[in-house]
Amino acid sequence: MYCSTEGEWLVPIGKCLCDIGHESRGVTCQVCRPGFYKSSPGNLRCSKCPPHSHAHLEGSAHCSCEKNFFRSETDPTSMACTRPPSSPRNVISIINETSVILDWGWPADSGGRKDVTFNVVCKRCSAGKRQCEACRGAVRFLPRPTGLSNTTVTVADLLAHTNYTFEIEALNGVSPLAPAHRQFTAVTITTNQAAPSPVTVIRKDRTSRNSISLSWLEPERPNGIILDYEVKFYEKQEQETSYTILRAKGTNVTLNGLKPDTVYLLQIRARTAAGYGASSRKFEFETSPDSFSISGENSQVMLIAISSAVAIILLSVVVYLLLGSRFCGYSKSKHPDEKRLPFGNGHLRLPGIQTYVDPHTYEDPSQAIHEFARELDASCIAIDKVVGAGEFGEVCSGRLKQPSKKETSVAIKTLKAGYTETQRRDFLSEASIMGQFDHPNIIRLEGVVTRSKPVMIVTEYMENGSLDSFLRRHDAQFTVIQLVGMLRGIASGMKYLSDMGYVHRDLAARNILVNSNLVCKVSDFGLSRVLEDDPEAAYTTRGGKIPIRWTAPEAIAYRKFTSASDAWSYGIVVWEVMSYGERPYWEMSNQDVIKAVDEGYRLPPPMDCPATLYQLMLDCWQKERNNRPKFDQIVSILDKLIRNPGSLKIIANAPSRENMLLDRTGADITTFRSMRDWLESMQTLPCKDIFNGATYSSCNTLAKTSAEIYLAEVRPAATCPEWEPAMGITTL
């Protein structure tokens, strides 16, 4: 008996409890058998050790974890032992100038836990050196670099033209217990060139009646070597109707020939090889009302009291000489690069904007090839194996080792023996075209071998080969964001080509190559293709035929190939990607495809295709080519989708995947029907009668919802007003 707090005797009641590691058997307690445990006193039975743990001894209070399995401090003893997750999979990087979106797949093995998070480590690696250093400076991670629960992160404010390696590490609650087993996947990227950031600090050094001297600080992020600055100025009261542009090599300039006592507005922008950066804000300056020169805002104003006319003249002479000698350094006469370009209202075509040169315009084709492609010594190339058959010969993989350069993997297109001079010229024309391009989403030409045989075109090697077969091999294995990332890359490459004035004419998934980082690059820059009459043999690239299923109606009908017809083909590529390499229009004949498309039918959405992406396809397939989105708009739409993954959640599923076409001929025809029905009926009845059908209301509802998201969140309505009325959203 023992005493209570109230001073009364307490009589213990109840019964005996079995100790930890023991269970009650009748009136006795027995030890837990090996493989069983009991972690608290009581009369419960011993429990079997949870998965990945063991208890070799009898009477165990808990089970120990197997090798490489762990229990975190907060895990109950009844929980299975777990291990760190495996590394993230399928990392893709979408580079946009100096930022990169990294997206990856969930680890194959989460280690038996649900608390998986990701950390991203940024390292900067110099090309020559093996070692990388942690990224310094103002690199920004959105939303953050560590503890990410989503499988995507944006890294911004990187340096231009720089190699970075990102280690994406998967962690869970037991990862801190196994620090030696970091499970990460590394991806190495090279940032693109980027235009310089704006000039933010401009200082007025001196003003006179007719001139102003200015200096400014280099932009905070030059992103390359600044070639020159453009200084644009105009009288404030003229409101930019007439302006003058000066180009300056350094960070100062003198504006001469100004009106006295007049307010001028001025903007400066820097130029690098990547083009012009954004203009600075407008700075306001005023010339002096009289012949005195006054030092600038930030310098001390010196007002000299001059009592006699002689003194004024003397001072003016001195100041004139001083300014004159200082300004000479920046004057036109001493700087031939600083040109004065007065313009009225019109536009000014500034240097630095590159356009594509058709190699066929060269009288001598060998001149074009040597202008745009580097001649390689055949001894620098080692061929490893044949990877495919090109139109002119085999395509091989191999290695290129140029003097004082690192060995790189390359693809080698060969020209088969016995070629004619025309075949040789046609074969090499692809290199003349490719050699003019420099973009991360365009296949890069390493060089050509023309002075020995076999004649070869050497390009960067793309480990995953053509996009169509790659997707077929990996059916349903990527996240939507990964697919959109690939599409973004293709659109970015196409934007570059259209900016260069190059029309591809054969954009299709088979002509996109994929590297080991899932970066997609546009390839196949052959000769222009011409439609021939035989509709059944419509596609052999160099045989003068065109790929009907990928080609816009106006290009088929009257060979109107433009960047807008490339946009149509891009819509077909989006369909191919979202259907993992399905053949557009399935087994329909080319003639039937031409007829169906002409009558307003369009491919239906692939299975599980986000409504927003399907809307993009429909926009690319607008009959009126001017209503199709431009590639810069496509890139920005896809960027918005990537940044706003919620916009990909509504699925535009057709009732069934196969043999369905979507009629877009009129606003009242809004249903899906089987293609067989459709083909049969087309021969007998007007389509409209046939298609006024049963599934209208559900499809229409879906169309409305997806269209709302698309309009509200994705499509840049403000920048492309021509999209609005003719979008065909109500006809989905």
Taking contact as CB under 6 A, which single stretch among the options 48-56, 113-121, 325-333, 385-393 is the one that binds ligand ACK?
Answer: 385-393
Determine, following the binding rule CB under 6 A, whether residue 118 of this chain makes contact with ligand ACK: no
DSSP H helical ranges for 467-589: 467-473, 480-499, 553-558, 563-578
Determine, following the binding rule CB under 6 A, whether residue 414 of this chain makes contact with ligand ACK: no
Taking contact as CB under 6 A, which single stretch among the options 88-96, 186-194, 454-462, 597-605 is the one that binds ligand ACK?
Answer: 454-462
Determine, following the binding rule CB under 6 A, whether residue 462 of this chain makes contact with ligand ACK: yes
| Cα(345)–Cα(529) distance, integer angstroms | 40
Q: Which residues pair with 235 in a beta bridge?
A: 264
Residue among 30 and 190 whose Cβ is closer to ligand ACK: 190
103 catalytic per annotation: no
Determine, following the binding rule CB under 6 A, whether residue 541 of this chain makes contact with ligand ACK: no
Residue 438 token pair = 């420099």
User: In the complex, which residue's CB is closest to ligand ACK?
Assistant: 388
Cβ atoms 226, 270 nearer than 8 A: yes
Determine, following the binding rule CB under 6 A, whether residue 388 of this chain makes contact with ligand ACK: yes
Residue among 262 and 408 whose Cβ is closer to ligand ACK: 408
Shortest Å, Cβ 462 to ligand ACK: 4
Determine, following the binding rule CB under 6 A, whether residue 448 of this chain makes contact with ligand ACK: no
Distances (CA, A) of 630 to 61, 343, 484, 498: 69, 29, 17, 9
Cβ atoms 116, 171 nearer than 8 A: yes
Residue among 161 and 472 whose Cβ is closer to ligand ACK: 472
Cβ atoms 451, 381 nearer than 8 A: no
Determine, following the binding rule CB under 6 A, whether residue 660 of this chain makes contact with ligand ACK: no
Instruction: For residue 82, give the DSSP letter.
Output: B
Shortest Å, Cβ 474 to ligand ACK: 13
E strands, 377-487, where?
A: 381-389, 394-400, 408-414, 445-449, 456-460
Taking contact as CB under 6 A, which single stretch among the options 34-42, 217-225, 455-463, 574-582 is the one that binds ligand ACK?
Answer: 455-463
Residue 382 token pair = 């080692």
Determine, following the binding rule CB under 6 A, whether residue 408 of this chain makes contact with ligand ACK: no
Cα dihedral 591→597→602→603 (10° resolution): 20
Taking contact as CB under 6 A, which single stretch among the options 264-272, 331-339, 384-392, 533-541 is the one that binds ligand ACK?
Answer: 384-392
Shortest Å, Cβ 515 to ligand ACK: 8
Shortest Å, Cβ 493 to ligand ACK: 14
Determine, following the binding rule CB under 6 A, whether residue 383 of this chain makes contact with ligand ACK: no
Site for ligand ACK in 473-532 (CB under 6 A): 513
421's enclosing H/E stretch is helix 421-434
Determine, following the binding rule CB under 6 A, whether residue 465 of this chain makes contact with ligand ACK: yes
Determine, following the binding rule CB under 6 A, whether residue 459 of this chain makes contact with ligand ACK: yes
| Cα(340)–Cα(566) distance, integer angstroms | 40
Determine, following the binding rule CB under 6 A, whether residue 387 of this chain makes contact with ligand ACK: yes
User: Is 413 marked within a binding site?
Assistant: yes
The radius of gyration of the chain's CA atoms, rounded to the nearest angstrom, is 35
Question: 17 CB contacts (<8 Å, ≥6 apart)?
Answer: 41, 42, 43
Instruction: For residue 714, give the DSSP letter.
Output: I
Quick count: other Cβ atoms within 10 Å of Cβ 333? 7
Catalytic residue among 228, 468, 506, 566: 506
Work out the angle between the directed axes of helices 365-372 and 421-434 (0-180°, nearest 10): 30
Determine, following the binding rule CB under 6 A, whether residue 447 of this chain makes contact with ligand ACK: no
> Footprint of ligand ACK on this chain (CB under 6 A)?
387-388, 390, 395, 411, 443, 459, 461-462, 465-466, 469, 513
Annotation: binding site for ATP: 413
- Which residues are part of a known binding site? 413
> Active-site residue numbers?
506
